[in-house]
Amino acid sequence: MTFFGPLGTGALRAAAPRRESSPSIDELPGAFRDALGEIRRATPRPEAAIAEIPAPRKLAPYAVALRAEVTESSPGQRVTGGTTGAVSSLGTSSPAPADEDAEQLAAGRFILLHDPAGQAAWDGTSRVVIYIRAELDTEMSNDPLLASVAWTWLADSLSQYGVQHRRAGGTATRILSESFGELADREASNTVELRASWTPGDGGLDTHVEAWSDMVCSFAGLPALPDGVVAMPTLRRS
């Protein structure tokens, strides 16, 4: 049970981990209940399979988390919704079976933190935290401007979706993994990781989720949506 489907004790306990008993939906802060409703209204890209995952327990009194995955499945075959039905109201509601053999092109996480008392570093009572990871082809991994391009693209994507925010920050990291000894037969891998966070401004959080899902798809090398957003090129393995 989740915040997005029938509210059950597991999700409520995750939202308020310091309580011995789980609060009811009516006991959640009004601002957090509103935020959950806004996330529920989001229409993420259908290529990204999205589901709710356990939220971090120590960063804020209340939190909700989503994960996204883009594989080599044909466009339109990946739909939102996980095994718990957490986000069945996001985008397409009828789940499609995942291809376990399909190569993962990109993955990401979206976390909304909420502290009714506010936190000085946030300059507000809520904070959005995202993470995106994708494998690169060799040519792209050698681009010295890759990290700055990733951050610029993030800023452009948030702007394109009309995401109201402030105090954004983050890091883009390139990772080269090589194996030796008994693992020497494994191919070297090149990965880019983007970690970012920002404080939501006015407007619904649905646009934040939609922009994030589009970022994950663009990192996978899929054509960007909406029109006008330029995808990062060749961010998948050749």
CA–CA distance, 187 with 19 (Å, rounded to integer): 47
170: which 2 tokens?
Answer: 């983050």
Query: What pLDDT, in 10s, does the model give residues 75-85?
Result: 443 333 433 33
Domain count, the chain: 1
In a domain, 238, yes or no: no
In a domain, 231, yes or no: no
Query: What pLDDT, in 10s, does the model give residues 19-56?
Result: 555 566 778 889 999 999 999 999 998 889 999 999 99
In a domain, 178, yes or no: yes
CA–CA distance, 47 with 75 (Å, rounded to integer): 6
In a domain, 230, yes or no: no
Helix (H) or strand (E) segment spanning residue 29: none
Q: What are phi and psi of 124, to 5 degrees?
A: 170, -170
In a domain, 233, yes or no: no
Predicted local distance difference test score (pLDDT) of residue 49? 92
Predicted local distance difference test score (pLDDT) of residue 226? 54
- From first to last of its 238 residues, the chain has per-residue pLDDT tens of 234 433 333 344 345 545 555 566 778 889 999 999 999 999 998 889 999 999 998 999 999 999 999 988 634 433 334 333 333 445 443 444 445 666 888 999 999 999 999 999 999 999 999 999 988 765 555 666 667 778 887 888 899 899 999 999 999 887 777 777 777 777 766 788 899 999 999 889 999 999 999 989 888 888 765 555 544 544 443 3
Expressed as residue numbers, the domain containing 170 is 9-219
In a domain, 236, yes or no: no
